[in-house]
Every structure is written in structure tokens, then in C-alpha cells.
Structure 1
Amino acid sequence: MMSLFAFQGAVELGLGYGLLAIGLYISYRIVNVADLTVDGSFTLGAAVSAVLTAAGHPVFGVLAAMVIGSLAGFATAFLQTKMKIQPILAGILTMTALYSVNLRIMGKPNVPLLGADTIFTMMASVVGDKFSKLLTCLLIVLIIMAAVVLFFRTQLGLSIRATGDNEDMVRSSSINSDMTKTIGLCMANAIVALSGAVIAQMQMFADSSMGIGMVVIGLASIIIGEVIFGHSSVLRSVIAVTLGSVIYRIIIAEVLELGMPQGDLKLISSVIVALAISYPVLISHLRMRTLRKGNDRKGEKSRA
């Protein structure tokens, strides 16, 4: 059975990675682009945050991470819209380039933050150490949720949503679909970079390889949240994907408590995503099978 301490830690991580899920939700669901930039922009946010935090500017590190993360999204959008490169390939190219960029920013593969002041130590000075991480993550997530929901109710936000639904229709309505797609991807990667910045300060280090597999983690959070809580509106969706991230982290923590090796986490993540994606199909097959059995029994009774 998971301890209360481990449960709280899982919830804190879930909220931190919930920002990643919200960012990926924007690109994956709203803009309708399979954006693989995420692996690079997550590390980019962590790198910028760690370097500025080590220099004594933790809050500025978080804000700068969002700005530079949006530039990563802009690079991917530029390759897609202006250079006419396929979305998946554009994301891979940007992600690959960001590996070198992240190393340049950090100056070395790993930047430790032991002893440095972070946004969490600042919160701890107000509320104490016990709930400082939880409250800080919750506050940031609520701010981002509110900003995303309000933005996608504006005319520009509705245009971005329409671009993801039907790009041809948007173009016929004299809306610049390249611009709306670019803004959507910039926003998505800014929030992903924010997630990296928060996680780096929470874990007290940034590593050049910490972004590997973030797409899978984000998709797992999105699909778990949507399957359990639904996705009928933007508000419901951002809440669902954040709770999905928390549930995913609790599952991972429980698996680790059972003694599963740390190296198997990526395998577990892939299995969770596969099961979550195939859930509607499995339920449909199960219902059809039950219906057929019911029909067979009725047929047997009528013949008798």
C-alpha cells in the first residue's frame, strides 16, 4: 500500500506534468497536430529554468522558459507552414536541434540546483515545507487552466479551434490558418516548457535527457483523463488531462512501490497508453459479445 508521503509526491509530480498534458492537449487536440517538439521543448524549459535559478532568479527562470519554449513552437510551425514540411518530421527536426541548444544553454549535461532558492522554497517561507510544492504546483496549474480556457473563448482562440477542426473551411473564410496554427503551437510549447521549468525546480536539477518520452507521458495523461472524465469542452478537457496526469503518476508510484525496476517505466507508460487508446474498441467488442450471447440465448429459448 502506498504511503501518504508517496501519494502526496505523486500528486505533486502529476500537477507538474499536468502542464505538459495541457500543452500537448492544445497541439494534439485543438490544433490537431502531432507535435513531437515536446521532448525538446520540455528539456528547453528545464534548462533555462535551471540556469537562471542557479543564478538566483527562479521566478524569472520560469517566465523565460515559457518565452523560449514558445520560440521552439514557432520554429516547428515555421517548418510546417512556410517550408511545407510534414508536421511529424518538422517536430522531429526541431526536437533534434533542441538537444544541441539545450546543451549550449546548460553548458554541461546536468545542472544541479542543490542549495539554490526556487519557487518552492519561496512558497515554503510562507506556508511551510510540508505543502509548499503541492500549493505552488496547484496555483500555477490553476492560472494556466484559467488562461487557456479564457483564451480559447476569444475570437482568436475560436479561430485556432476552427483551424484544427477544418483548415480548408477556415481558409475559405479568409482567416490566415498558418498564423492560427503558429500561435497554437507557440502556446502549446510555452506551456510544455513551463512544465519542464517547474519540474526542474521541483527535482532540483535539469538534465539534457530528461525530455525523452514526454510525448508518451503527455498522451497517457490526455487519454486517461478523457476516458475517465470526458472532453465535451475546453474547460472540462484541461481539467480532465490534468487529473489524468495525476492519476498516471499515482499509477507509476504504485507500480514502483510494488518493486518494479525504474528502467521499466517507459514500457509501463507505453502499455498504459496502448490500453487507454484501445479502451473504446475493447468496450465496443465486449458489448457486441454480450449482445450476441444474449441473442443466442433468446434464440435457444424460442426454439425450445
Structure 2
Amino acid sequence: MSAFAFFGALEIGLIYGLVALGVYLTFRVLDFPDLSVDGTFPMGAAVAATAIMGGINPWVATGMAIVVSAAMGWVTAFLTVRCGILNLLASILTMIAAFSINIRIMGRPNIALLGQETILTPFESWGEALYMRPLIVGVLVLLSAWLVVRLLNSDFGLGMRATGVNARMVAAQGASTGFYTYFCLAISNGFVGFAGALFAQTNSFADVTSGVGTIVVGLAAVILGQTIIPGKKIWVTILAVVVGSILYRLAVAFALSSGMFGLEASDLNLVTAVLVALALILPKMKRPGQRATGMKVSSPTTHVNHPSKPQTKPSSGEPL
């Protein structure tokens, strides 16, 4: 693998680390299967690209992308909480609607950003762009991961985590599970929209089909990262999610760039499916020497049965 391919895969892996953070919040924390990320990822790219082409500052354009994508996550929560639609179906409806909205935002299926100023442009003068771009993206991703860790370790984050584990218990304590759902879906899709905005600015284009398979990539990063770096602490889990995204992209780049497997760019979905399957299978494989049944064998000790003393009923004069 060449240096250009390595740093390119590292940059894309860091960008999709934001997607993995959003997927982790919905799937792992809230236990909400949110498929709307396939629509909010290109929405973040569409809003940022359209705003930059309109002469808006790239940082402001990125913030607009985050807000609009978070609003789409709020719509998914509204369909579930207020309208009573099944969470999976609600996210699919939002994803379908986002496709048409993205075309409306851009006015056409794609926008090119060649020659336009982005949030990475001022930093490219500090050094070689091949190395500086992954560094700046990495700083933004680490800052986002730190914010997620602080959120989940707070009292509010504890209530959000409890909602994903047992919503009835949270409601019995007088807390609003609906509010936690609104907030979690909004911030999750906000991170995904942030990733889409960075993707458009680093690749100099925004396309309405760029979000196809985003949920699969996010799940692959979460599963792969938690398999390689297991841990119960929040910061370890968040770090594992980001590392899983980077390793996933590096593995895909290595598999497609090396000729030993005979893979082509069209085999990307096949490589993704194989990596996710391996990440799911490996933790379930029995260690050598472990019994298949998983039953514990008690030690051959002799048990002595002692006769219990007969219980005597108290007399009428004794207190019960």
C-alpha cells in the first residue's frame, strides 16, 4: 500500500469515526435502530457544499450542516415518540424523505467544490497536505469523542443510557424517556451530518448517493472496535469505536489495493460484509479447553446431610 493510499484511508477512517460515534449513541446507548444516517450523511455534505458555493464561511457552513442533520434526527424521534411509528420504520421514512430533500438543497444530484475554500484550507499551508489533512480531521474527531465521553458520564447521559436499558424504569422515576430519545437522535445525526460535511470538503464534492451503506460502515466500525478493544469504561468504548473505524478503512484499502486477493473497487460491499461477519463471529468462538456446553463441574467433595432440628411451636403464653 502506497503512502497516498494509507493516508487517504486514514483520513476517510477518521471522518467515518464521527459516523461511528453517532451509530454508537443510537444502537448501543439508546437501543434505537436508526437507519436515517444514510440520508443525513449526504444531507450534511449537501448543506455544507451549497453554503460554501454561496460564499458562506466554511466553518459556518459546517455548523449549518450539523444543525440541519440534527433536525432530521429530531424528525425520526418525533415519528416514533409522538406518532407511535415503529422506530425502524420511522428511520426508513426519514431516510427516504432525505433523498429528495438533498436534491432540493443542491438543486442537482451533485456539486463540485474544486477551488473552493474549506475548513482545511488554512491549515494546508502549515505542511504537506497529505499529512496535515488527516491531522486536522483527527483533532476534530478527538474533540467530538471527548464531548461524547463527557456527555455519557454526566447525570443527563446516565439517564439517556438508562433509557436504552430499561425505559419503563426511567419513566417510573419521573424522567421523560421521550426527551432522551429526541436528544440522542438529534446529536447522533448531528455527528453524522458533521462527517458528511467533512467528507464533502476533503473530497471536493457532494453527491446525493454518497450516503448509501453509511449505516453498514458505522456498524462495522462499532462492532470491530469493541471486538478488538473490549472495555467497560466509557472512554475506552468511545476510543474503540474511533479506532474500529480507522482499522476498517485501512483493512478495506489494503484488501482493494493489494493484488493478492484479486479484489476490485466494486467488491467494497463484499469486503464490508466479510469484516463485519468476522467481527461478530470471533468473540463467540470457544477458547481451547472450554467445554462446549459451558457447564461448570463441581469438585468431588463429600456432602454431609445434617438433620435439621424440629421446629417447636410456641406455647400460648409465649409471644409470636
Q: TM-score, normalised by structure 2?
A: 0.87
Instruction: Compute the displacement of 1:54 (Å).
Output: 2.1
In the other structure, the counterpart of 2:122 is: 122
CA distance 1:3–1:104, shift in 2 (3 Å): same
Partner of 1:59: 59
Give how far 1:284 is off.
5.9
> Letter of the aligned partner of 1:46 in structure 2?
A
- Among all aligned residue pairs of Structure 1 and Structure 2, give the percentage whose two residues are the same amino acid: 38
User: Which residue of the other structure, out of 263, 268, 277, is the alignment partner of 1:265?
Assistant: 268
In the alignment, what sits opposite 1:46? 45
Q: Look up the match of 2:32.
A: 33
CA distance in 1, matches of 2:97, 2:15: 25
Structure 1 gap segments, 5+ residues each: 292-304
Match of 2:228 in 1: 228
**Partner amino acid for 2:196?**
G
Please name the residue that 1:93 is paired with: 93
Secondary structure of the structure 1 residue equivalent to 2:117: coil
Contact 1:222 1:240 in 2 (8 A): yes
Larger Rg computed on CA atoms: 2
Structure 1 CA distance, aligned partners of 2:165 and 2:142?
Answer: 26
Deviates more, 1:271-280 or 1:14-23: 271-280
Equivalent pairs, count: 291
1-structure distance, mates of 2:62, 2:74: 19
Say whether the 8 Å CA contact 1:119–1:136 is kept in structure 2.
no
Amino acid corresponding to residue 277 of structure 2 in structure 1: A
Task: Check if 1:277 corresponds to 2:273.
Answer: no
How much does 1:251 deviate? Answer: 0.5
Deviations 1:172-206 (A, max 9, x none): 00000001111011110000110111111111101
Deviation of 1:269 after TM superposition, in Å, equals 0.8
Per the alignment, residue 134 of structure 2 pairs with: 134
Match of 2:8 in 1: 9
Name the CA distance, whole Å, in 2 between partners of 1:106 and 1:123: 27
- The 2-side partners of 1:173 and 1:7 are apart by 50
Q: Give the secondary structure class of the aligned counterpart of 1:68.
A: helix
Is 1:174 matched up with 2:174? yes
Cα distance in 2 between the residues matched to 1:186 and 1:121: 29
**Amino acid aligned to 2:167:** E
8 Å CA contact retained: 1:121, 1:132: no
Structure with bigger helix share is 1
Contact 1:42 1:211 in 2 (8 A): yes
Show CA shifts across 1:133-191 (max 9, x none).
Answer: 11211111111011111112222211111101111100000000001111011110000
For the structure 1 residues 168 and 253, does the alpha-carbon distance in structure 2 shift closer, same or farther, using more than 3 Å as the test? same
Q: Which moved more, 1:2-11 or 1:19-28?
A: 2-11
> AA paired with 2:156?
L
Q: Distance in 2 between matches of 1:98 and 1:231?
A: 36
Shift of 1:92: 0.3
2:129 match: secondary structure: coil
Hey, what's the Cα distance between the residues in 2 that align with 1:214 and 1:83? 26
Task: Kindly state the Cα deviation for residue 261 of structure 1 after the two structures are TM-superposed.
Answer: 1.5
RMSD after superposition: 1.9
Separation in structure 1 between the aligned mates of residue 130 and residue 289 of structure 2, nearest angstrom: 45
Q: Once the 2 structures are TM-superposed, how far is the Cα of residue 238 of structure 1 from its aligned partner?
A: 1.2
The worse-fitting range, judged by mean Cα deviation, of 250-259 and 88-97 is 250-259
SS of aligned partner of 2:153 = coil
* Structure 2 residue ranges without an equivalent (≥5): 295-320
Matched-pair contact (CA < 8 Å) for 2:44–2:65: yes
Show the counterpart of 1:68.
68
TM superposition shift of 1:215: 0.7
Tell me the CA shift for residue 227 of structure 1: 0.3
8 Å Cα contact 1:226-1:237 kept in structure 2: yes
- Higher mean C-alpha displacement, 55-64 vs 169-178: 55-64
SS in 2 for 1:111: strand
The question of whether the paired residues in 1 share the 8 Å contact of 2:153 and 2:234 is answered with no
Alignment deviations for residues 46-73 of structure 1 (CA, whole Å, 9 cap, x no partner): 1111111223321112111111111011
